[in-house]
Structure 1
Amino acid sequence: MSAPSRQIKCVVVGDGTVGKTCMLISYTTDSFPVQYVPTVFDNYSAQMSVDGHLVNLGLWDTAGQEDYDRLRPLSYPQTDVFVLCFSVVSAVSFDNVTSKWIPEIRAHCPDAPIILVGTKIDLRDDPTQTAEGRAPISRGQGQKTSQRIKAMKYLECSALTQQGLRQVFEDAVRAVINPKPTKRKSKCTIL
């Protein structure tokens, strides 16, 4: 008889159009969606084994658009880990990691671990895809911001090629099953 799987709630946040939904669909179905459909809230689930632990990973996809700023925190209670995404070809989404997303996460879930993820790495070398006329965000910039916001880890991935995709969710699980010793074990609540 196998051991029962542990439930882990992983909430994926970040600006609209950074690739959160594509990342989740690509990971859970092994296929890349061809059409953009803005998300309000969506849930996905993945059974996986990480470091010998059987886990049922509940993946919560959230809307990054400003219109949903008041609604989005309703998905935060009982979050075990956040995956905070930005697009490596969008400087605005990268800037919003520190100006918008970290304050929001910390206000609602101060002790929840965070995995910072740079998405769309397949577009980093494509000059036609760099938004806002700024250079793509480098791995070093991502790592530096990850340290500054005290994220558990910085990772990069591509939903299109699936490069680094599995690692994102394996490390999200590891952040919960092997927390840093200084972190208190608590889930977030909204009062």
Structure 2
Amino acid sequence: MDGGARPGGAAGQSREYKLVMLGAGGVGKSAMTMQFISHRFPEDHDPTIEDAYKIRIRIDDEPANLDILDTAGQAEFTAMRDQYMRAGEGFIICYSITDRRSFHEVREFKQLIYRVRRTDDTPVVLVGNKSDLTQLRQVSKEEGSALAREFSCPFFETSAAFRYYIDDVFHALVREIRRKEKEAVMAMEKKSKPKSSVWKRLKSPFRRKKDSVT
């Protein structure tokens, strides 16, 4: 098994990333996942089915075992959804550029993440799929970019049919998870270190007392 270590884990452990696909039904979540996993575009798929996929790859020369949950296309809150929202480490929120309603539903999925996790710092990548269907476009690329800036997350327009930018999406999410983990570790280390100014204030009275004695 490839070597890799989760922050704080033992050396040699393989790092697993739990990723969750979110988005309205019919936007192409399953097609994106299948293209990423097997380089195959599914002709038929039931959008009400949830499925999980695993793949081992290297990203930035580091091993990564991806556990991808492809969810059904409803934004309603359920006990099962609560469970995988808590377990997921990063989320890909998808819409179709040919379906403005699916674009509006992106906010519902983002709010659902916050409702469960109670933080805006969860790693997210925003995706506008079906970019090959330019003649049917209902959502401009600028609108997608603006929403991604609001979410402070990476944004891609993809085509699952032609496999455009599919790998980039999953790689970007893993990078977001790694970046936020490193930031969290650095923040903890910084918090645990005593501030030099405090030590100076504590030491200065003793230094003055010692000088007066000598």
Answer with 36-45 or 170-179: which moved more. Answer: 36-45
Distance 2:185 2:101 in 1: 32
Distance 2:60 2:96 in 1: 29
Instruction: Tell me how many residue pairs correspond in the alignment.
Output: 174
**Contact 1:48/1:55 (8 A) holds in 2:** yes
Residue by residue over 1:64-99, the C-alpha shift from the partner in whole angstroms, topping out at 9 and shown as x without a partner, is 135x6424233212211100001011100101112x
Distance 2:148 2:115 in 1: 18
SS at match of 2:180: coil
Match of 1:29 in 2: 38
Deviation at 1:149, TM superposition (A): 2.3
Match of 2:3 in 1: 3
SS at match of 1:84: strand
Match of 2:124 in 1: 114
Percent identity over the alignment?
A: 29
Structure (1 or 2) with the greater strand fraction: 1
Unaligned runs of 5+ in 1: 186-191
Amino acid at match of 1:146: A
**Contact 1:63/1:72 (8 A) holds in 2:** no
Q: Note the 1:135-174 alignment, pairs <5 A.
A: 135-150=137-152, 152-174=153-175
Amino acid at match of 1:155: F
Unaligned runs of 5+ in 2: 5-13, 187-214
Kindly report structure 1 stretches of 4+ aligned residues shifted beyond 2 Å. Answer: 71-74, 179-185
Distance 2:33 2:22 in 1: 12
Which protein, 1 or 2, shows the higher relative CO under an 8 Å CA cutoff with sep ≥ 6? Answer: 1
Deviation at 1:154, TM superposition (A): 0.7
Question: Larger radius of gyration, structure 1 or 2?
Answer: 2
Distance 2:181 2:87 in 1: 19
Distance 2:122 2:143 in 1: 23
Structure (1 or 2) with the greater helix fraction: 2
SS at match of 1:155: strand
The TM-score, its normalising length taken from structure 1, stands at 0.83
The TM-score, its normalising length taken from structure 2, stands at 0.74
Q: Note the 1:84-103 alignment, pairs <5 A.
A: 84-98=93-107, 100-103=108-111
Distance 1:139 1:177 in 2: 27
**Contact 2:20/2:69 (8 A) holds in 1:** yes
Distance 1:15 1:75 in 2: 17
**Contact 1:39/1:61 (8 A) holds in 2:** no
Distance 1:118 1:136 in 2: 11
Deviation at 1:182, TM superposition (A): 6.6
Alignment RMSD, CA only? Answer: 2.2
Amino acid at match of 1:172: L
Distance 1:13 1:102 in 2: 9
